[in-house]
Amino acid sequence: MEKKKSDELFIANKELALQKQEKKDRAAELAIANEELIFQSKEKENRAAELVIANKELRFQNKEKENRAAELVIADKELAFQNDEKENRAAELVIANKELVFQNEEKENRAAELVIANKELAFQNEEKENRAAELVIANKELAFQNDEKENRAAELVIANKELVFQNEEKESRAAELVIANKELVFQNEEKENRAAELVIANKELAFQNVEKENRAAELVIANKELVFQNEEKENRAAELVIANKELAFQNVEKENRAAELVIANKELVFQNVEKENRAAELVIANKELAFQNEEKENRAAELVIANKELAFQNLEKEKRADELVFANKELKQAEDDIRKLNDELENKVIERTAQLESVNKELGSFSYSVSHDLRAPIRAINGYSKILVEDYAEKFDADGEKVLHSIMHNSKKMGDLIDDLLAFSKLGRKQVTVSEVNMSNLVKYLTDELIFDEAENLPAFTIKLLPDAKGDQSLIKQVWINLISNAIKYSKYKPITTIEIGSYEKDNLVVYYVKDEGAGFDMRYYDKLFGVFQRLHSQEEFEGTGIGLAIVQKIVHRHGGTVWAESTLNKGTCFYFSLPVINN
């Protein structure tokens, strides 16, 4: 019986030595795994830091590109504005050309900077792809390490089953080791979750690193405790040798221990069930990790597409820059052409001015000839006709007197026509003396000074508010005289002569008008209205030379205004003329 007990004790000692060796091997492997985990954590932290720096650089470069794009848009707007200014201000063309050359140099510098920025962006995109590839490799290494951990966990289960056969102290230490392993598994899961959330939760990375360091410190403490427990187990083994000698006397104690072992086995079965549940949870966590890896790959693919789009946009910008350079060259060529045309135009203006001066001299000679050479025969005809009427009236019958009166009337009309023609020709040479004209006082003075025959209808004037204007008062007075006289003349066959004089403002101009209810005219013949010697009514119906409205148009044009009319046959006419507004 004692020999059998000694054999069992010898076998138990061998098993205990084997278990100690296995524990030492597991402890060494666990230490190596911990060192690898710490190294991988540091590598992940470095990768995360590099990713944060790369993101910051990308944001900075995007802001720089937006600034460059904004500057390019502003430069384009400035160029369009300058082109408009050049069209409106041909006299400032030389200064605008110098500004355009300077702006072109600035744009070329901006285009060169944009090319350099695009190259830097392409280099950074390549760096990001390398970082993404490294992140994929790190995820694969993490998955491989998780498999290794599962193998280690399976080996630990086997060691736990062997530990059941040890004494009560070993069971207690095994229970503590199981608890430490659970904590280690929990810490590994935490680390895996942190690694999976590394890209999204960069701001929480510092806190997670601190947690990892704390967990590593706890793991070192647990390893120290495990070494201490191994020493305790060795001490217990020494005590077991002593206890084996007393084993013969402790059968009752062994039976009690056997009962406790049954209870411990039940607890171990319960712990195995818990481990299976943890393994199932670990499988779910691995599936989530695989899903997150797929999401990362999708993000990487989207990033590649975005980089391609950015490269395409950069090509488009380069094309736009080339087009802008080409347009600037064309604009410069056009400006050179315009400069040449301006020079040619100035030469032509000088030639036309010389010709115009020559024509004006000839016109002055013609006016002098008309004024002296034509007036003398007309005065002679008129004078001889008056002598005939005064001295030989009794020798003429009624027809002869009628012919004499007709000769006198037509000679007078010819004199008036020559006077009007000379007045019209002098308008082109008369210097315009600009001063402020009180229109209300001028019109009131002219209407008060009108003289009418007894048989004529006295016109009823309606004079509305007339703003002041700037111009030559004598010429403006002639405009009012001609328009008011026309209104009175063409209303003489109406029972009541009503004339309205007023004004209104439109487009920075003051528009004055004279409106009557007289004979009017057909608007189909409007083109003839302001022509010299053009009449829309017969001489027998309404007297006149046909120069009055031509004089009005020439005076208004010399003041920078326009004149026009609206009329309905047999209902009346309204003449308008415009002058610039006086800016107070």
**Termini Cα distance of the chain:** 137
The answer on pLDDT for 40 being more than 70 is yes
Alpha-carbon distance of 66 to 493, in angstroms, equals: 79
Please report the pLDDT score of residue 198 as a whole number: 66
The answer on pLDDT for 299 being more than 60 is yes
The answer on pLDDT for 546 being more than 90 is no
Please state the rounded mean pLDDT for residues 462-475: 88
Mark residue 563 as left, alpha or beta (left: phi above 0; alpha: psi -120 to 50; beta: remaining): beta
CA 216 from centre of chain: 55
Please report the pLDDT score of residue 565 as a whole number: 92
pLDDT band of 578, cuts 50, 70, 90: very high
- Which tokens belong to 179? 């608890």
pLDDT band of 510, cuts 50, 70, 90: very high
Please state the rounded mean pLDDT for residues 342-361: 80
Please report the pLDDT score of residue 500 as a whole number: 93
Please state the rounded mean pLDDT for residues 65-94: 75
Query: What letter would DSSP give residue 496?
Result: S
Strand partners, 460: 498
Do residues 432 and 472 make contact, with C-beta atoms less than 8 angstroms apart?
Answer: yes
What is the number of other CB atoms lying within 10 angstroms of the CB of residue 509?
A: 16
- 506 or 5, which is more confident: 506
pLDDT band of 544, cuts 50, 70, 90: low
Question: Chain-wide mean pLDDT for the chain?
Answer: 79
Place of tokens 């069930």: 273
Do residues 218 and 182 make contact, with C-beta atoms less than 8 angstroms apart?
Answer: no
Q: Where is average pLDDT lowest: 138-152, 275-289, 357-371, 524-538?
A: 357-371
Please state the rounded mean pLDDT for residues 50-70: 80
Contacts of 193 (CB under 8 A, 6+ apart): 285
**DSSP letters spanning 391-406:** HSGGGS-HHHHHHHHH
**For residue 437, which phi and psi values (nearest 5 degrees)?**
-110, 125
Please report the pLDDT score of residue 527 as a whole number: 81
Alpha-carbon distance of 134 to 366, in angstroms, equals: 101
Q: Which amino acid is at 363?
A: L
- 122 or 361, which is more confident: 122
Q: What pTM was estimated for this model as a whole?
A: 0.36
- 158 or 208, which is more confident: 158
Please report the pLDDT score of residue 577 as a whole number: 93
Q: Where is average pLDDT lowest: 159-163, 538-542, 576-580?
A: 538-542
Please report the pLDDT score of residue 537 as a whole number: 58
Most confident of 101-105, 307-311, 412-416, 448-452: 307-311
Please state the rounded mean pLDDT for residues 358-373: 63
Q: What's the sign of the alpha-carbon dihedral 505, 506, 507, 512?
A: negative
CA 341 from centre of chain: 37
Please state the rounded mean pLDDT for residues 166-194: 77
pLDDT band of 497, cuts 50, 70, 90: confident
pLDDT band of 458, cuts 50, 70, 90: confident
Q: Where is average pLDDT lowest: 443-457, 467-481, 525-539, 563-577?
A: 525-539
The answer on pLDDT for 332 being more than 70 is yes
Alpha-carbon distance of 159 to 30, in angstroms, equals: 14
3-state secondary structure 103-162: HHHHHHHHHHHHHHHHHHHHHHHHHHHHHHHHHHHHHHHHHHHHHHHHHHHHHHHHHHHH
Most confident of 153-157, 226-230, 547-551, 560-564: 560-564
Q: What is the β-pairing status of strands 572-580 and 563-568?
A: antiparallel
257-268 pLDDT tens trace = 778 878 878 888
pLDDT band of 443, cuts 50, 70, 90: very high
Please state the rounded mean pLDDT for residues 231-247: 79
The answer on pLDDT for 96 being more than 60 is no
SS3 content of the chain, % helix, strand, coil (to 5): 75, 5, 15
Please state the rounded mean pLDDT for residues 351-359: 77
- 336 or 215, which is more confident: 336
The answer on pLDDT for 369 being more than 70 is no
pLDDT band of 367, cuts 50, 70, 90: low
The answer on pLDDT for 461 being more than 80 is yes
- 471 or 76, which is more confident: 471
Please report the pLDDT score of residue 425 as a whole number: 60
Q: Where is average pLDDT lowest: 42-46, 297-301, 347-351, 431-435?
A: 431-435
b/e map 328-359, b = 16+ CB within 10 Å: beebeeebeeeeeeeeeeeeeeeeeeeeeeee
423-436 pLDDT tens trace = 656 655 566 678 88
